[in-house]
Amino acid sequence: MTPHDTMTALKFRGPWDMALTEVPRLHATGPDDVVVDIAYTGICGTDLGVVSGSYPVAVPGVTLGHESTGIVAETGPEVTSVTVGDRVVINPTPYCGVCRMCRTNRINHCEGKHGTESGISYDGTYAHRYRTTSGFLRRVPDHIPLRAAALTEPLSCVVSGVRKLTPPSLSAHTVVFGAGPLGLLYAWALTLKGLSPVVVENAPARLAFATKVLPASIPAFASLDEARRSHFGDPAAPLDVVVDTTSGLLESLYEELAPGGTFLSIGLKSRAVSLDAMHLADRSLSVIGSIDSLHGSFDEAFHLVTSGRIPVERLVSHVVPIADYEEAFALLGCDIPGRTLTGAGTESCKVLIASGAEPAGEER
Ligand SMILES: [Zn+2]
Ligand SMILES: [Zn+2]
């Protein structure tokens, strides 16, 4: 390494303490290593929780960022699946394959993942370069922009959750709460399961963005009352399937679930609730938590992106250069210098940080 062989990375030093830092430039050192020049990384709700200290999972000193695409810059001698110059999407969640969780179809809870999870315990992709191994990259077809493929990882988490739902019928009253990226991806993915979801979002700017990008077949409303009256035609319509991206609704909507109904909780805000166990059994309810990718969900999501079945690029509201990361976080209500996290006050959805390796045709 020469003294000038450095690159920029956005380091997490502790809650509200982030810094663009010059660090040694990454190279392919192992035989199966691949180094990627990063193009785009989506800002995830996880990042907002980490930065604000409300989701204290990241190791201080780590480079954040895990929803990403880029261009292969270096490969180790044994790599055959990608070559230098390939446009790729990164699966940021390696798993060991041998622990009990991995052997029993729970790779998202791999017992060996500490130290390997990008942007949490392993240096992630808010940086010029990222190092992984060849099995965690997929080549992006020419017709798919890298900014679209950057949504593969969040969609993979959505696919994991949708797999766990067994709706009672295709006419299930289905409501997704929250019109952030995950809410909108859930709404789209649920249509592929044969359901007809509606989205409820009480932040006016978020609702306006959702209304613009969702197809007419997925209406969005400012409140559950409004959704019930204007969409289900019944102010007391029972709820068959609820997806809560906000962490805040389980207790208040529990009694409103129809018999056989399902509540899928995917938010990551800590909140204690009290539920009646008799009601759970008596009404055959399901309360399900879901996070991360499961076996095959990354490839399933990648197929939904590359086939165009879910037009993920519509969710990209902003692309911001890494040097202006504070502005990018502020678009999502995360004011780093002011140390406050509020709801997004702008018409934002998926905000991408651009690290510099933007391919021709995708310049800002
Ligand atoms: Zn994420
Ligand atoms: Zn494992």
Residue 118 carries which DSSP code? B
Dig out the tokens for 114 from the structure: 């500490």
Query: What spacing in Å lies between the alpha carbon of 201 and ligand 1's midpoint?
Result: 20
Query: What spacing in Å lies between the alpha carbon of 185 and ligand 1's midpoint?
Result: 12
Bridge partners for 287 per DSSP: 263
Q: Give the number of whichever ligand sits closest to the CA of residue 181.
A: 1
284 three-class SS: coil
Query: What spacing in Å lies between the alpha carbon of 14 and ligand 1's midpoint?
Result: 19
Query: What spacing in Å lies between the alpha carbon of 168 and ligand 2's midpoint?
Result: 34
pLDDT, position 88: 98
Query: What spacing in Å lies between the alpha carbon of 47 and ligand 1's midpoint?
Result: 8
Query: What spacing in Å lies between the alpha carbon of 55 and ligand 1's midpoint?
Result: 13
Lowest mean pLDDT among 42-51, 94-103, 111-120, 137-146: 111-120
Query: What spacing in Å lies between the alpha carbon of 44 and ligand 1's midpoint?
Result: 4
Assigned CATH for 6-156+293-354: 3.90.180.10
Burial class of 53 by CB neighbour count within 10 A (0 to 12, 13 to 18, 19+): middle
Q: Give the number of whichever ligand sits closest to the CA of residue 266.
A: 1
Query: pLDDT over 70 for what percent of the chain?
Result: 99
Query: What spacing in Å lies between the alpha carbon of 119 and ligand 1's midpoint?
Result: 9
Q: How far is CA 201 from CA 172, 180, 198, 340, in A?
A: 20, 9, 10, 21
Confidence band, pLDDT 50/70/90 cuts, at residue 72: very high
Asked if residue 294 has pLDDT above 90, the reply is no
Query: What spacing in Å lies between the alpha carbon of 278 and ligand 1's midpoint?
Result: 35
Determine if the pTM surpasses 0.85: yes
Q: Residue 208's CB: how many other CB atoms inside 10 A?
A: 13
Query: Which among 240, 122, 91, 260 is positioned nearest to 173, based on CA atoms?
Result: 240
pLDDT, position 240: 97
Strands 17-24 and 33-42 come out as: unpaired
Residue 244 carries which DSSP code? E
Cα four-point dihedral sign 229, 231, 232, 238:
negative
pLDDT, position 3: 59
Query: What spacing in Å lies between the alpha carbon of 264 and ligand 2's midpoint?
Result: 25
Q: How far is CA 24 from CA 8, 14, 107, 127, 292, in A?
A: 9, 21, 31, 11, 30
Q: Give the number of whichever ligand sits closest to the CA of residue 158.
A: 1
Query: What spacing in Å lies between the alpha carbon of 97 and ligand 2's midpoint?
Result: 5
Please give the backbone phi and psi of residue 277, each rounded to the nearest 5 degrees, phi first: -65, -35
**Where in the chain do CATH 3.40.50.720 domains reside?**
165-289
Q: What whole-number distance in Å separates Cα of residue 127 and Cα of residue 11?
A: 9
Query: Which among 312, 297, 190 is positioned nearest to 242, based on CA atoms?
Result: 190
Q: What are 209-259's pLDDT values in tens digits?
A: 999 999 999 999 999 999 999 999 999 999 999 999 998 899 999 999 999
301 three-class SS: helix
Query: What spacing in Å lies between the alpha carbon of 296 and ligand 2's midpoint?
Result: 15
**Where in the chain do CATH 3.90.180.10 domains reside?**
6-156+293-354
Q: What are 264-293's pLDDT values in tens digits?
A: 999 888 888 999 999 999 999 999 999 877
Q: Give the number of whichever ligand sits closest to the CA of residue 154.
A: 1
Average pLDDT over the chain reads 93
149 three-class SS: helix
11: left (phi over 0), alpha (psi -120 to 50) or beta: beta
Cα four-point dihedral sign 22, 27, 32, 34:
positive
198 three-class SS: strand
Find the angle CA(105)-CA(111)-CA(115) to the nearest 5 degrees.
125
The arithmetic mean of pLDDT across residues 161-166, rounded, is 93
**Residue type present at position 205:** A
Query: What spacing in Å lies between the alpha carbon of 153 and ligand 1's midpoint?
Result: 7
Assigned CATH for 165-289: 3.40.50.720
Q: Give the number of whichever ligand sits closest to the CA of residue 96.
A: 2
The arithmetic mean of pLDDT across residues 174-188, rounded, is 97
pLDDT, position 15: 95
300 three-class SS: helix
Query: What spacing in Å lies between the alpha carbon of 227 and ligand 1's midpoint?
Result: 28
Q: Residue 43's CB: how many other CB atoms inside 10 A?
A: 26
Q: Give the number of whichever ligand sits closest to the CA of residue 43.
A: 1
Is residue 60 a contact partner of residue 14, using CB atoms and an 8 Å limit?
yes
Query: What spacing in Å lies between the alpha carbon of 291 and ligand 1's midpoint?
Result: 10
Q: What whole-number distance in Å separates Cα of residue 47 and Cα of residue 347?
A: 19
Strands 174-177 and 198-200 come out as: parallel
Query: What spacing in Å lies between the alpha carbon of 343 and ligand 2's midpoint?
Result: 35
